[in-house]
């Protein structure tokens, strides 16, 4: 699609976002919270203005749950080599590209995402769309591939014929990246629009996604600063009446951003990372004994830091004093000392053997902590493959923004069983 005429529109004087990069904007705002876009003469993410009349609509929020944080983290992983900032909070000022992540699909027909193809980042402050939600059948990593590809289109990158490159038009799952190889461009039967940009790094009809992004943004600056983290509940020396249901809470911060916080009990990682504040594990259940808990915070570099241990005691009824909450929902088994389970309710940590999961569960988590959908975790936490799709690029005038579309096929076969 060719955008309307843009004479007289100049969002900003051409200025590089950094000394090392050619792009005007190196901040990406992933908008999960819904927005109304209005059509105007040029993209302006700060005013929710889109150059395309087809984009003008009200977009519903992405939805709540772990997949939101996991997809954000996966996008950060896609762009970790480049000097960009990625956030899910709208910036207060400056130029930024906005990726609207919403189940509201104004194109339908299996389209996963659309974006203006903006050669050399001429327009700046672009708006792109990724049609995903917290409840769709795509893993967080696959959602991130859509988001990352649409953002890259807004900086002039086009489709290439390579499944392992994020710019491949066929969304085949896995864990693609921006490859440092000259790959054949795929215009979907239409002319290549940003040939002058690509030819700086490759021969005719080829693109090196990695080198173009380095040219646009420069290399990421190493972050040597680890996060800080502390357990804030319970307190060191607290006593509880057995059986005690304790919500363990940690505070964590970082100069760039906290990726996840892990819980350790008596030195053992419980395998249930929390990726959004407040970092907490609700109603962890403990029988009699003395326990020490700690939290590990990890940032995007990744740097990590471990909190000091906090130790507390769980005593018999009427024995000692209590300084924290307790529960009387069950008594320890007189033979084993373990607490009975409570019908398979999630959110309870049993310090004995965990209750077997019901048949058909997707969790696979035997920690007893709240279960997490492994398909909703970023690369490194497990990745499902098999998402398939196709894409096409529409022609545009030289120097103008065209519309790039990422399309999905065969969506039904990825549905989970209930």
Tell me: the pLDDT tens digits for 151-191?
999 999 999 999 999 999 987 778 899 999 999 999 888 88
Task: Choose between 20 and 372: higher pLDDT.
Answer: 20
Mean pLDDT (the chain, rounded): 79
Tell me what percent of the residues of the chain surpass a pLDDT of 70.
73
Cα distance between residue 348 and residue 365, in whole Å: 13
Indicate if the pLDDT at residue 280 is higher than 80.
yes
| pLDDT band at residue 224 using 50, 70 and 90 as cut-offs | confident
Indicate if the pLDDT at residue 137 is higher than 70.
yes
Bridge partner list, 28: 86, 97
- Strands in 244-253's sheet, in edge-to-edge order, are 228-233, 244-253, 279-286, 349-350
Average pLDDT over residues 87-107: 95
Tell me what percent of the residues of the chain surpass a pLDDT of 90.
58
Window from 47-51, 218-222, 405-409 with minimum mean pLDDT: 405-409
Cα distance between residue 305 and residue 346, in whole Å: 28
Question: 340-364 as b/e, with b when 16 or more CB fall inside 10 Å?
Answer: ebeeeeeebbbbbeebeeeeeeeee
Average pLDDT over residues 137-152: 96
Indicate if the pLDDT at residue 390 is higher than 70.
no
Domain ranges in the chain are: 27-219+384-414, 228-372
Indicate if the pLDDT at residue 403 is higher than 80.
no
Cα distance between residue 207 and residue 165, in whole Å: 11
CA angle, corner 312, sides to 307 and 317, nearest 5? 160
Dihedral Cα 320, 322, 327, 330, nearest 10 deg: -10
Q: Assess contact for 144 and 74: CB atoms under 8 A.
A: yes
Task: Choose between 184 and 362: higher pLDDT.
Answer: 184
pLDDT of residue 318: 75
Average pLDDT over residues 226-245: 95
pLDDT of residue 151: 98
Bridge partner list, 310: 293
The CATH number assigned to the domain with range 228-372 reads: 2.60.40.10
pLDDT of residue 13: 64
Task: Choose between 209 and 380: higher pLDDT.
Answer: 209
Task: Choose between 12 and 377: higher pLDDT.
Answer: 12
Angle (deg, nearest 10), helices 140-153 and 66-78? 50
Longest dimension (CA), the chain: 83
pLDDT of residue 246: 95
Average pLDDT over residues 37-61: 95
Indicate if the pLDDT at residue 83 is higher than 50.
yes
Q: Assign residue 300 a region: left if phi > 0, alpha if psi is -120 to 50, beta otherwise? A: alpha
Average pLDDT over residues 124-142: 95
Q: What is the pTM of this model?
A: 0.67
Closest CA to 232 of 202, 261, 275, 206: 261
pLDDT of residue 255: 85
Average pLDDT over residues 227-245: 95
């Amino acid at each position: 699609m060719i955008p309307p005429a843009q004479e007289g529109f100049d969002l900003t004087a051409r200025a590089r976002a950094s000394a090392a990069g050619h792009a005007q904007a190196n901040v990406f705002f992933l908008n999960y919270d819904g927005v109304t876009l209005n059509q105007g003469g040029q993209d302006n993410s700060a005013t929710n203005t889109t150059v395309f009349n087809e984009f003008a609509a009200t977009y519903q929020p992405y939805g709540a749950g772990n997949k939101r944080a996991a997809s954000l983290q996966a996008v950060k992983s896609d762009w970790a080599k480049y000097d960009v900032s990625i956030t899910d909070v709208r910036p207060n000022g400056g130029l930024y590209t906005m990726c609207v992540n919403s189940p509201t699909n104004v194109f339908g027909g299996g389209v996963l995402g659309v974006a203006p193809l903006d050669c050399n980042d001429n327009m700046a402050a672009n708006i792109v769309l990724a049609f995903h939600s917290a409840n769709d059948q795509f893993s967080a990593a696959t959602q991130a591939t859509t988001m990352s590809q649409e953002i890259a289109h807004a900086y002039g990158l086009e489709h290439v014929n390579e499944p392992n490159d994020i710019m491949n038009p066929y969304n085949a799952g896995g864990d693609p990246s921006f490859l440092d190889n000259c790959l054949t461009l795929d215009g979907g039967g239409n002319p290549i629009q940003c040939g002058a940009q690509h030819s700086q790094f490759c021969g005719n009809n080829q693109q090196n996604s990695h080198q173009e992004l380095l040219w646009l943004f420069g290399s990421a600056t190493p972050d040597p600063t680890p996060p800080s983290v502390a357990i804030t509940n319970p307190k060191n020396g607290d006593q509880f009446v057995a059986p005690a249901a304790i919500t363990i809470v940690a505070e964590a911060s970082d100069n760039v951003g906290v990726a996840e916080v892990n819980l350790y009990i008596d030195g053992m990682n419980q395998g249930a990372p929390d990726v959004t504040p407040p970092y907490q594990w609700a109603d962890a259940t403990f029988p009699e004994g003395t326990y020490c808990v700690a939290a590990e915070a990890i940032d995007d570099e990744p740097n990590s830091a471990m909190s000091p241990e906090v130790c507390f005691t769980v005593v018999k009824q009427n024995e000692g004093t209590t300084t924290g909450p307790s529960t009387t929902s069950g008594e320890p088994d007189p033979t084993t000392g373990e607490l009975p389970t409570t019908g398979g309710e999630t959110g309870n940590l049993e310090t004995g053997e965990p209750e077997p999961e019901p048949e058909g569960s997707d969790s696979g988590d035997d920690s007893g902590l709240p279960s997490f959908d492994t398909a909703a975790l970023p690369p490194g936490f497990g990745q499902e493959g098999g998402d398939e799709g196709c894409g096409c690029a529409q022609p545009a005038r030289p120097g103008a923004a065209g519309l790039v579309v990422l399309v999905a096929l065969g969506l039904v076969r990825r549905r989970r069983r209930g």
